[in-house]
Every structure is written in structure tokens, then in C-alpha cells.
Chains A and B, each alone.
Chain A
Amino acid sequence: MKLREIQARTIEKTVKELCIKANTLLREDVLQAFRAFFDKEEENTLPKKMLKVLIENSEIAEEKKLPLCQDTGMVAVFIEMGQDVHILGGSLSGAINSGVEEAYTEGYFRKSVVKDPLMRDNTGTNTPAVIHVDITEGDKMSISVMPKGFGSENKGKIGMLNPTCTQDDIIDFCVETVKKAGPDACPPYILGVGLGGTMDQCALLSKKALLRPINESNPEPHIAELEEKIKERSNALGIGVMGLGGISTVIGVNVKEAPTHIAGCPVAVSLCCHALRSASAEI
């Protein structure tokens, strides 16, 4: 088997382009959801007006190549790398971090990463990125970037539920997470929910779940039903856009599940603000 060679420079360039795209161009599925909820909100109300502001915000950002939100986040990078790929001319992490740095400098994005959680000196480059690598079959490499703001990241939660928990217990945990976030983290929210695995894996699943378009349900019918119920109950909370009431509290729920242990049922919620940003490419 011959190895496929990929230049580190190609990875760097791809990461840079994806970071710029993700920060300035709102995902089509998210924009569609804004429009759908805008149509359903009551006329002449603040929530409807605010949804219009969000749609206009995405238009200005696209036209002027401005970041949708000033919090251009800490960048999570998800790599699926075929085992027949060989990287030349640099390291994978070096290439990714260089790509992030170039995007954040040339794109005029805010640098929000501090080197040490206690000393809090800004690295000035928005790196390091948080890199997750999965080795797969074949000779392709897929890259997804997700710059996520910390206003909503701060509201994430993980719960180690009992193996005997019911569907309602899982829904309660997710809805309670939304309720606690309330108006603080830029609703309408999108929920990435990890279900199963171990504690660390479950948290990662919740992030990865946000990569899936929010207008696509989980392929497993019982999980798709769970997604629908979490969304329905969250929207009954009446938090709404900017916490101003109405029906648009959660505009998407994506659950990603994995095998787990007989003794537990981990549930993690990555609560995301309405500016759910990601972009993907294959090399």
C-alpha cells in the first residue's frame, strides 16, 4: 500500500480558509432556522424584531467579511485522517495552529485565547486550537473547524446519570441546562448533546453533534424522537430570542450517541449560541 502524501502547507491553508468562512458566513441550516422561526413569531413583537436583526447581521457579515460575532471563539478542529496519509513538511498540529493564526490575523478576528488559566496572558494568535484527531481507513483527510464563543461555552453541562434513567430524565437534564443559561448566552440556542461513552468522550460527542446540520435528525428513530422532545420542551420555557419571550428558545437539537457502560448513562450538553459556526473540507 502506497502512502498518500499531503503537504503541511496544504493543511495550514485549508484551516485558514475554513476559519475565515466559519466566522463570516452563517451556516445555511442556521439561517434557514432563523427564517422559519421568524415566520412563526407573532407580528410586532420584540422577539420577531430581534430575529430580523440576526438575519441582517448575517447579511452584513457576509457582505463586509466581518465576523458574525466579536467573540470569534476558541477554535475546535476535528480531523479525520486516513491511515494511509503521510504528512510532509511539518507537523499536523503545527500546520493547524499556523492556519488558525493566519486566519485570525488576516481576518481581523478577536484573539481570545490566554496561555494560562490563572496568569491570563493573551497568546496574541488565538492559538492553540483544540485539536481532535480520529484515524480512519483510506487516504483522505477531512477537516472541520468550529470557533465557539465562550458566553455559551460557559453554560455547558455534563451529568453522569444512572443506567436506569428514563428518556424523561435525559430530557429534564437538557432542559434544565437551557433554563439555567436563560437569557445569558445569546438565545435562540442550538444544543449539541452527547449521550453515552465515558465522561470525556461524552463531552466530545456533544461538540461533534453540533457539526451536523440542524435540519437533519439523528438516523436512529428513538434518538430523533429524543431530539424532538428536548426541543419542544425547551421552547415551552418561553425564554426566546435575547430572553425577550416568544417561541424561539432552542432552534436545533443534535444528539450524538455512543456505547457506554452497564453502570452509567453520561449526558453532556454543549449549549451553543445562535451563532453556531463551523466549516468543513476534505483534502
Chain B
Amino acid sequence: MSKTKHMQTPLDKKAINSLKAGEEVLLSGTIYTARDQAHMRLSGLITEGGKLPLELTGQVIYYCGPAPAKTGPIGSCGPTTSGRMDPFTPMLLDAGLKGMIGKGRRSQEVADAIKKNGAVYFIAPGGAGAYLREKVISCVTVAFEDLGPEAIYKLEVKDFPLVVGIDTEGKDIYSKL
């Protein structure tokens, strides 16, 4: 196993370029949750030329619909399946998004868009919602509150454990599966 890298959001170009598929990363800083319905709305806004509820440039989106907080900032909050976001992803990357966190495979179109935009796709341990919740410092609703667990939440995370799934070269850890 290679050495774990510590990274901070927003992601700068140099840091992203240094990442290689399969490397372990501990990510700290701000990340935004968004899953199916939020992606549909964001892509709708981009298509219509409307104003987005968050500035995507350099940011990281986490495919997650958290459980409500019992104590502390948030409930269990593991990743959801990334593939369902594939149809919307290239558009978001073109709009400035630099990182995504989820679980599972991405389409060739997404891998190509990652390479084209110098972005990165991370995977987080799926089904470890209670474990990952311990890495979240704060949680604030940013947009689409009516969507409940599918709203966009701004999370501050500390040492969020990730593995690089697709790097800026478009290299995919799952390409052999």
C-alpha cells in the first residue's frame, strides 16, 4: 500500500494532478452532498442558464443522502452508488466541479470528462455510514431543502477516508473488473 495523502478542499490543480488511481487520501475541508434529484435540478439549471445555488468551481460533491442527526451535526452518512449520477456528471464537470466522492464504477463518458477537466473521482467505504459520520464536523443545508435527505448539504469534514477511483489521466481502478 502506498502512503496516505492528506488533502484540503477546494482542490487545487497541482494537488489533483499528483493523485494516482488506487492511492489513499484523507480529505479535509468543505464538501457538498448531492444525489439523484439534486443532480437533476442542477443540470436543469445549467441547461436553462439559471443561477446555481452553489459555486461549483474547484468544489467536491459527495453522493450522499445522510440520515438525520440524533446527536452531533449529522447521522450516518456513507456514499450512494455513483453510476446513477453519470448522465449528469460531464455537465457539472464542465461547470467547474473538480471532485466527486461516491462508490462504484463510472461510465466512459465520465472518465473522459474527468480527464478533460482535470478532475478526480474518489471512492469512500460504502455501507460504513456510522464510521464516516465520525469524520463530519458540521452540516448546513444549502439548497433544495424540500428534497429532505436528497437536499444539498454543506459538510465540513476532517480526514475523510478515500481512495482515488479515477485520476486526472482518466485511469480507473475498476477498469479490470
A residues near B (Cβ < 8 Å) are 44-46, 49-50, 53-54, 56-58, 60-61, 64-72, 108-112, 120, 122, 124, 149, 151, 154, 182-186, 237-239, 242-244, 273-275
Contacts and interface: CB of A to CB of B under 8 A. Distances in A.
A60 B177 contact: no
B173 interface: yes
Contacts of A274: 127
Given A60-B133, A110-B65, 13 more contacts: A53-B128, A54-B125, A56-B128, A57-B128, A66-B129, A110-B75, A120-B37, A124-B148, A183-B103, A183-B177, A273-B126, A274-B127, A275-B127
B65 A242 contact: no
B87 interface: no
15 contacts: A53-B128, A57-B128, A57-B129, A61-B76, A65-B70, A66-B129, A70-B64, A70-B65, A71-B78, A71-B129, A122-B148, A184-B103, A186-B126, A239-B177, A273-B126
B177 A182 contact: yes
Contacts of B80: 71, 151
A275 B67 CA distance: 16
Contact of B129 (A69, A124, A182): A69
A45 B129 CA distance: 22
B177 to A, nearest CB: 5
Interface in B58-83: 64-71, 75-78, 80-83
Contacts of B163: 46, 242, 244
Interface in B125-145: 125-131, 133-134
A65 B77 CA distance: 14
Contacts of B65: 70-71, 110, 112
Interface size class of B (residues with CB under 8 A): 35 or more
B10 interface: no
Contacts of B22: 46
A66 B148 contact: no
Nearest to A60: B130
A67 B130 contact: yes
B123 interface: yes
A67 B65 CA distance: 13
A108 B133 CA distance: 14
Q: Main SS of the interface on chain A?
A: loop
B37 A67 contact: no
Contact of A108 (B70, B83, B105): B70
B29 interface: no
Given A57-B127, A151-B81, A66 B70 contact: yes
Given A50-B125, A110-B65, A111-B149, A67 B81 contact: no
B81 A154 contact: yes
Contacts of A151: 80-81, 103, 126
B99 interface: no
B104 interface: yes
Contacts of A122: 148
Contacts of A124: 148
B70 to A, nearest CB: 4
Nearest to A66: B130
A124 B147 CA distance: 11
Most chain A CB inside 10 Å of its own CB: which residue of B71, B104, B133, B161: B104
A60 B75 contact: no
B167 interface: no
Interface in B1-54: 1, 22, 24, 37
Contact of A56 (B67, B105, B131): B131
A45 B24 CA distance: 11
B128 A66 contact: no
Contacts of A49: 1
A114 to B, nearest CB: 10
CB-based closest 8 A-B pairs: A184-B104, A186-B126, A108-B70, A57-B131, A61-B130, A57-B128, A70-B129, A186-B127
A192 B80 CA distance: 22
B24 A70 contact: no
B149 to A, nearest CB: 5
Nearest to A243: B174
A46 B130 contact: no
